Amino acid sequence: MNINDIYVIFASLLGFPAFIAAGVNVAKYFQLLNDGSAPKVVLWANIVLFVGVAVAFFTGNIDLLTRLDAEVGNVALFMLSFIAFVSSLGVAKIYHAGLRGTPVIGESASLRNESLEDW
């Protein structure tokens, strides 16, 4: 058991850092976290993660850590996909407002009190 292996294990994790980044981005999107405090949150989350890797290393639970890393990575992927979906709904409203009233694309039969049969 070499203590330098902790650094190698910590560097090989992909799910936990992705989860930290996704969590910070989701918190910033919903304005729960401002840009100025995001680096502090990431720093402390990485310190906690490093200590967790050390504890898993010394207790012999590296297999559990790697399985948990994969699952947390999937959660991060879901979080980012959810934010992309929510953002696309907002962007669609902006495009709709911008195109309203333009010929052909922005025409609305309901606004002109016409039925579809009149088209």
Q: Could you read off the pLDDT of 59-88 as tens digits, one per residue?
A: 999 999 999 999 999 999 999 999 888 888
- pTM surpassing 0.75? no
Rounded CA separation 17/1 (Å): 25
- The dihedral region occupied by 115, where left means phi > 0, alpha psi between -120 and 50, and beta the remainder, is beta
Are the C-beta atoms of residues 40 and 33 closer than 8 Å to each other?
Answer: no
Per-residue pLDDT for 39 more than 90? yes
What string of DSSP letters covers 83-101? HHHHHHHHHHHHHHHHHTT
Grouping H, G, I as helix, E, B as strand and the rest as coil, residue 114 is coil
Place of tokens 């050390």: 54
> Which secondary structure element, helix H or strand E, spans residue 68, and what is its range?
helix 62-99
